[in-house]
Amino acid sequence: MTESPLPPGGDPPQPLRRRFLTPRSLGIASAVSAGAAAVALVFATQMAVQATAPEPGPSSTPIAADSTDENAPEKAETVAPPAVVAAAYDQLSGAEVEYVRHLGAQAPEFAAGVDVFGEPGLQFLSTDVADPQAYTDGQRRLLSLYYDYGTDETVSMIVNASTGAVESVDRASGSQPAPTDAETELAWRLLLESDAASALSEQFATLTAGSSLTPGSAEVELTAHSFVSDAAAFGAESCGAQRCVQLLAQVDGGSFLTTSTYVVNLSTRTILTVA
């Protein structure tokens, strides 16, 4: 069997001996793209629509701001419902995603949570259509996923878009959906504030003819993965029970910085070295 060649000058895009959940990619100081994340939970399995992206086109995935952004639906005083309520099996629209996120933020469980920056309010992760086969009334329901940094639990919220009611809120521990832009950017900043920064800065300077590495360096494109510890990952045993992220940092579309030996624990804001 022939192994795939490694990219020059750094880590491979998919390091061995690591168990990742679905990756989340974004460009720091450049356009941010959204994708779909497969999320396995105790109480639900959904294809999750990511939190942020450029303005969608007619056939693109609907988006909204991170819940920590000032223009987030969770922080709006009011959000109008969609002009037409979609049928149970219809695709998501940006308008209904914002609407159900705003409705979810009115639930007491949302305000009782803590986001990635330690502020009140759950950290929004994703929204998707709730399985229509689980219901018999034909009404439109969406499933939103959040993370509570106060309890290290993933929170699942079912919102009925037809009636405007939050119908259920469930929690699960040990489940780690893909990180959002806000979580990824914080993980990158924490990594560059750690002892790992010196070696990363030297690599970056070599690859960019002497440029300085900062959290906003436009030459860096990040791919972030939720990291769950397994038998092969020594040094990050808390990951899975706590919210951990591993970063891959590509420079100018070519070489990768050596980041695969580090995991950022966002729950404790510490940098873990894994082997």
Task: Kindly give the residue spans of alpha helices, DSSP state H, lying in the chain.
Answer: 94-105, 108-111, 181-192, 197-207
* 161 and 48 co-located in one domain: yes
What is the reported pLDDT for 12?
A: 45
CA atoms of 63 and 124, how far apart (whole Å): 12
What is the reported pLDDT for 232?
A: 66
Dump pLDDT digits (tens) for 33-77.
222 222 223 222 222 333 333 333 333 344 456 787 878 899 999
Q: Is residue 3 part of a domain?
A: no
* 89 and 191 co-located in one domain: no
With b meaning 16 or more CB within 10 Å and e meaning fewer, what string describes 232-249?
A: ebeebebbbebbbbbbbb
How large is the greatest C-alpha to C-alpha distance in the chain, in angstroms? 63
* 143 and 196 co-located in one domain: no
Q: What is the mean pLDDT of the chain?
A: 79
Query: Is 104 a residue whose pLDDT tops 50?
Result: yes
In the listed set 123, 151, 172, which residue is the last one of a domain according to the structure? 172
Query: Is 179 a residue whose pLDDT tops 50?
Result: yes
**Close Cβ partners of 221 (under 8 Å, ≥ 6 residues apart):** 25, 26, 27, 28, 30, 249, 250, 253
What is the reported pLDDT for 80?
A: 93
Q: Is residue 192 part of a domain?
A: yes
The pLDDT of 7-27, averaged and rounded, is 35
Q: Is residue 20 part of a domain?
A: no
* 126 and 50 co-located in one domain: yes
What is the reported pLDDT for 68?
A: 78
Query: Is 195 a residue whose pLDDT tops 60?
Result: yes
Percent of the residues in the chain that have a pLDDT greater than 70, as a whole number: 76
Task: Supply the CATH number for residue 57's domain.
Answer: 3.10.450.40
The pLDDT of 91-119, averaged and rounded, is 95
Q: How many domains does the chain have?
A: 2
CA atoms of 275 and 265, how far apart (whole Å): 15
* 49 and 153 co-located in one domain: yes
In the listed set 172, 198, 218, which residue is the last one of a domain according to the structure? 172
* 71 and 137 co-located in one domain: yes
Q: Is residue 24 part of a domain?
A: no
CA atoms of 142 and 96, how far apart (whole Å): 9
Q: Are 272 and 25 in contact (CB under 8 A)?
A: no
Q: Is residue 107 part of a domain?
A: yes
Specify the residue for token string 């880590």.
Answer: 11
Q: Is residue 203 part of a domain?
A: yes
* 165 and 184 co-located in one domain: no
* 125 and 160 co-located in one domain: yes
Query: Is 11 a residue whose pLDDT tops 90?
Result: no
Q: Is residue 202 part of a domain?
A: yes
What is the reported pLDDT for 231?
A: 62
Query: Which candidate, 26, 76, 33, places its Cα nearest to that of 54?
Result: 33
With b meaning 16 or more CB within 10 Å and e meaning fewer, what string describes 93-126?
A: bbbbbbbbbbbbbebebbeebbbbeeeebbbbbb
Q: Is residue 96 part of a domain?
A: yes
β partners of residue 270:
265
The pLDDT of 5-13, averaged and rounded, is 45
What is the reported pLDDT for 71?
A: 82
* 162 and 223 co-located in one domain: no
* 58 and 161 co-located in one domain: yes
pTM (whole model) above 0.85: no
Query: Is 163 a residue whose pLDDT tops 80?
Result: yes
Specify the residue for token string 């690599």.
Answer: 203
In the listed set 145, 172, 199, which residue is the last one of a domain according to the structure? 172
Bigger pLDDT: 8 vs 32? 8
Please give the sequence-ordered ranges of beta strands (E in DSSP) within 130-219, or none if there are none.
Answer: 141-148, 153-160, 165-172
What is the reported pLDDT for 269?
A: 97
The pLDDT of 183-201, averaged and rounded, is 96
* 264 and 144 co-located in one domain: no
* 168 and 47 co-located in one domain: yes
Query: Which candidate, 117, 168, 106, places its Cα nearest to that of 147?
Result: 117
β partners of residue 207:
none
CA atoms of 47 and 51, how far apart (whole Å): 13
Containing domain of residue 258, as a range? 179-273
